[in-house]
Each structure stands twice: as structure tokens, then as C-alpha cells.
Amino acid sequence: MLGPPGAGKGTQAKLLQERFAACQISTGDILRKAVADQTPLGKEASAYIDRGALVPDVVIVNLVAERLKDKDCEAGFILDGFPRTIPQAKSLDEILTKMGRGLNRVLSVKVPKDVIIQRLAGRRTCRSCGALSHKVFNPPKKEGVCDRCGGELFQRDDDREETVAHRLSVYETQTAPLVDYYRRMGILQEIDGVGKIDDIRDRVIKALGEGVA
């Protein structure tokens, strides 16, 4: 899943994971858990995340390579927020080739900047299970409480206005070039990310069912 911050990658990846027998690998979720647990990875990553910068490629590539070996990824995997740079994409190609695997599709979710800002300003994440909600667009039944597990909902520190601006510029300079990279490989599908969550899920599933160029 490729797309700017707030495009809905995590929301759609979680829905796909429920539908298909595939694991969801969200590098953002893995890093945030490491930060919360104060592991060495978390201590290294937190300074980058807090200012909206990318964690060094080598750190990210190693953690994804390890995660791909897990049993729940045997039948398939959904990458959410990775790769984010051309070097990460090249490393991923090498890792998958060594494993005798490959990418079937890359979905680029397109959402205009004003919608992104509204989505990030209202996003709430469950501290226990990671479920996503939104104060206005997808509100929980009880404010501050996760519908799925009853955990506490919190606002991500990197969703502050000034950090969001930096994350968007990092996306444009470092991640957007991946759209052409995967288009050239013939596995890119572009998805209109504006609309109801369920409608976008239907677009995603349709795109996955269509043949690649």
C-alpha cells in the first residue's frame, strides 16, 4: 500500500488482512510498538518519528526481512508504509527474490492534501489493538474507547500540524518516486482514496482482482 500520510493505507490494509489469509506488515505500527516498549529499536526510531522524518533504510529493511519469515506471512502479506524509498524497494526485491516470493500488486492510494489534513487531525488509534477510528468520519460508539477491544484511544504525536507538513514533504521527495518505479514494473494500480471506507475497500478488492499490465 503506497500513499501519503492519512491516505487510508492502514485502514484498508487492516480490512484486507481480515478478508484474505495474509499478514499485515505496518512498519509504522511496528515502530510505534517498539517506542512504547522502549526497546533499542524504539529508542533509535523515536527521534525520527517525532519529527516526521524517515527511520534509516537499513533499520527498516532488517525488521521487514525478519517479519516476512513469520508463520502468519506464509500464505501472503500486505505491506503498509513500506517501502518508502527507492533503496528500500530495491532491498525488498532482493529479499523476496531470495525467498522465492514476489509482489503481486502495488496499490497507490490517491487523496488530496485538504482531505489528508482533516483525516490526520481527527485520527484516533487504539493503544491496545491498534484499531483506527476518526472523531468525525468513523467515530467510536463511546468517546475515547475502542469499539473493538475497549482499549484507550489516543492521538498520535506525529499528527501535530507542523509534523504533518514535514511528513507530506518527505512523502513527495522520498516516497512518491516509487509510483513510477512500480509502474515501470507493471504492478501498479492507482486507487481513488476519497469516499466512504467501504467503497474504497471495494475499489481495492476490484483492483486486486484485475490483471496486471
Number of residues that bind ligand AP5 (CB under 6 A): 35
Q: Whose Cβ is closer to ligand AP5: residue 44's or residue 72's? A: 44
101 among known catalytic residues = no
Q: Stretches 15-23, 36-44, 49-57, 99-107: which one binds ligand AP5 (CB under 6 A)?
A: 49-57
CA angle, 152 as apex, 25 and 139 as ends, to 5°?
85
183 among known catalytic residues = no
Q: Whose Cβ is closer to ligand AP5: residue 188's or residue 200's? A: 200
DSSP bridge pairs for 25: 79
x/- track of binding to ligand AP5 for residues 67-106 (CB under 6 A):
--------------xx-x---x------------------
Q: How far is the CB of 36 from ligand AP5 (least distance, A)?
A: 13
Q: Whose Cβ is closer to ligand AP5: residue 56's or residue 100's? A: 56
Cα(79)–Cα(99) distance, rounded to whole angstroms? Answer: 16
Among positions 129-158, residues that touch ligand AP5 (CB under 6 A) are 132-134, 137-138, 158
Sign of CA dihedral 129, 134, 137, 142: positive
Cα(77)–Cα(54) distance, rounded to whole angstroms? Answer: 22
Cα(33)–Cα(24) distance, rounded to whole angstroms? Answer: 15
Cα(133)–Cα(33) distance, rounded to whole angstroms? Answer: 18
84 among known catalytic residues = yes
- Asked if 23 touches ligand AP5 (CB under 6 A), the answer is no
Q: Which of 90, 101, 135, 156 is catalytic?
A: 156
Q: How far is the CB of 75 from ligand AP5 (least distance, A)?
A: 23
Catalytic residues, by residue number, are 9, 84, 123, 156, 167
Which residues contact ligand AP5 by CB under 6 A? 3, 5-11, 27-28, 31, 48-49, 52-55, 60, 81-82, 84, 88, 119, 122-123, 132-134, 137-138, 158, 167, 195, 197, 200
